[in-house]
Amino acid sequence: MGASERTHRLFRHDWKIATNAVRATFAAWQDRLVAAILLLMAVAGLRNGFADLPWLTALWAGGAVSLGVGMAAGRLVLARLAFHAFDGLLAADALQLPFRRRYIGAWHGIGIVMLSGITLIVRPSLLIVSVPAYLVGALMAGLTAAVAMPLRILDATRPNWSVRAWLRHPSAGVAAAIILLLVLLQARTLGPNVALAYAGVGTVVLTLALTDVDESAVRFMTIAGYGSGRIVLRLSRTLVSFVAVAVPGCWLILGAAPAGIVAAASALMFGLMAMRVLAYRLHGKRFADVLVLVLAGLLLLVGYAIPFALPVIALAVFWHLQHRAAAKTWLLV
Amino acid sequence: MNPAVLLAGAAVDRNGQRVVQEVDLTVTRGSWFGVIGANGSGKTSLLRALAGRLPFAAGSCLVEDEDLSADRAGRAQRFGFSPPADALPEALRARDVLELIGGDLDAVRARLGALQAALGLAPLLDRWIGDCSAGMRQRIAIAAAFAGGHALVILDEPFNWLDPVAMFDLRETLRGMVDNGLTLVTALHDLATLATACNAGLMLADGQVAMTLDEDMLQAAARDPLAFERRTIDLLRS
């Protein structure tokens, strides 16, 4: 094989996987229709949200979103390159700097074109911030990865695995609830609005750790005959113990409204966890994470732009995922 | 004749821990070198480092007289390597995998030669890897190691998942390819294959060389495989 053919071999490899996976995911016309409707709604929601914002606020919001997208894309591309160099078919290419650069450049080129297209639809004047912010995000991902790699060398005893194992035990939920209640006791002195904010943000942060989903565990349980519901129930034991302590405790300390916020935020995180389980039953980790990111973003947008449609859209999304994931039980794939 | 591969004092780290240390190894050109050892003894880490998939933490690595100790990309280019069968991309067909590695499929098939029949590759070419059984994926992974036409090939436990007929055919075909000039390094759990098909080998225990096996020892093992098996198992237990 000549050098010219090898130039974009890594990219062609992943492009082929991506296009085949998308084709398989949206094989039926109903799937394509649902995807098209969701995409249209997402773009419409974004356009609606940004159009009403004052110019400076839109500039900051657009910059922050583009920065986040750039960082996420940068991390995905680097993680993919690390996979290629360790377990991939084309490790020789993934280890050579010129090929690595072309691979990174090609994916970020696609990222910039997509982001520019969306920006042009949503609010064209934001182009001056979206593309530079994306590039800064991608650069930051590269710099943080360079720092993270030497630190990983110190990680010989794998304390993170022990912590992850404990986070699946109901006692972790009780501990997290006690932490939240202690914080809320303190926040009570700062006024009712601050306490409400503490209740919401604190719940999201703590339950993020409690609802962590291990893709390989989901895959194993699927092969072993666990249905989606059973996996979700098993993974939600920690969250249940958190809610059982945090909601009544919050009601006693701050009243009904903050307790409602804790319950609602917990329900939101439960939904996110269930969505990840369904996605991991259907796809590999990378693709599933991107899918969950897109769907969660879409639901947030719908909730913001057309809140009355949120239950219907959320039900449609979960029904679609569950419908496809149900067929995977017992399958050795 | 200069060796194809020469390791001296080689060490490999994984997750901050030294999993292979002080390994000396010489692989003669046109020979089959077998690496045996218990689970977790460091076989896969050693072979991955040799194939550039991991760095060497210490020691030297000469490949065809060129020092590639610090050159992972150079080692990855020099060796054909079978990726783990479970890491093959599910959304590709076997045909796609072979074309990506070796270019035009006709050229790849010419390079594979008799290996195509031994692996039963023809019916797998248009299957999605996601629809393949573990044994089918293993066949595709082995073919991938040879698709680039390398003269040096590393296979990590190639007989896993294969049925007895495929194991027999593959072993015979690989032996024929080695007789025609291929240099092959494999990790093995099958002592019979080590005794009857390999020219030399070593046993790893806790990341270190527990025993080296030269041609004379393996010929003796082939004459009395039961005695060889008992001695090897005793050593592995200890």
What confidence tens digit (pLDDT) does each residue in B23-33 have?
A: 999 999 999 99
Distance, in Å, from the CA atom of A59 to the CA atom of A67, rounded to the nearest integer, reads 12
Q: Is the pLDDT of residue B72 over 60?
A: yes
DSSP A28: S
Which member of A9, A20, A152 has the closest CB to residue B100? A9
Contact B87 A96 (CB under 8 A): no
Same domain, A101 and A211: no
Total number of domains constituting chain A? 2
Residue of chain A whose alpha carbon sits nearest to that of B146: A89
Same domain, A233 and A320: yes
Same domain, A256 and A327: yes
Same domain, A211 and A142: no
What share of chain B in percent tops pLDDT 90?
82
Same domain, A323 and A176: yes
Prediction pTM value: 0.76
Contact B92 A24 (CB under 8 A): no
Same domain, A147 and A171: no
Contact A20 B15 (CB under 8 A): no
Which member of A16, A91, A333 has the closest CB to residue B52? A91
Distance, in Å, from the CA atom of A71 to the CA atom of A113, rounded to the nearest integer, reads 16
Average pLDDT over residues B210-228: 90
* pLDDT, tens only, B150-172: 999 999 999 999 999 999 999 99
Same domain, A278 and A319: yes
Is the distance from CB of B150 to CB of B183 less than 8 angstroms? no
Per-residue pLDDT at B1: 66
Same domain, A14 and A142: yes
Contact B53 A284 (CB under 8 A): no
Domain that holds residue B9: 5-237
Confidence band for A154, pLDDT divided at 50, 70 and 90 = very low
Distance, in Å, from the CA atom of A84 to the CA atom of B88, rounded to the nearest integer, reads 11
Same domain, A211 and A311: yes
Same domain, A178 and A196: yes
- The structure tokens listed for A198 are 């503490």
∠ CA A174-A176-A181 to the nearest 5 degrees? 95
Q: What CATH number is attached to the domain comprising B136? A: 3.40.50.300
Q: Where a domain ends, among A156, A179, A204?
A: A156
**Mean predicted lDDT score pLDDT of chain A:** 85
Domain that holds residue A105: 1-156
Lowest-confidence segment of A61-70, A137-146, A192-201, B54-63 by average pLDDT? A192-201
Contact A1 B148 (CB under 8 A): yes
Same domain, A330 and A182: yes
Residues in A closer than 8 angstroms to B100, CB to CB, are 9, 12-13, 16, 89-90
Q: B79-106 burial by CB neighbour count: b if 16+ within 10 A, else e?
A: bbbbbebeebbbbbbbbbbbbbbbbeee
ipTM of the complex as predicted: 0.91
Q: Where a domain ends, among A156, A182, A217?
A: A156
Lowest-confidence segment of A67-76, A287-296, B100-109 by average pLDDT? A287-296
Per-residue pLDDT at A333: 46
Written in H, E and C, the secondary structure of A129-170 is HHHHHHHHHHHHHHHHHHHHHHHHHCCCCCHHHHHHHHHCCH
Confidence band for A162, pLDDT divided at 50, 70 and 90 = confident
Contact A92 B73 (CB under 8 A): yes
Other Cβ atoms less than 10 A from the Cβ of B222: the count is 15
Total number of domains constituting chain B? 1
* pLDDT, tens only, B87-136: 999 889 999 999 999 999 999 999 999 999 999 999 999 999 988 999 99
Residues in A closer than 8 angstroms to B136, CB to CB, are none
Q: Where a domain ends, among A156, A191, A219?
A: A156
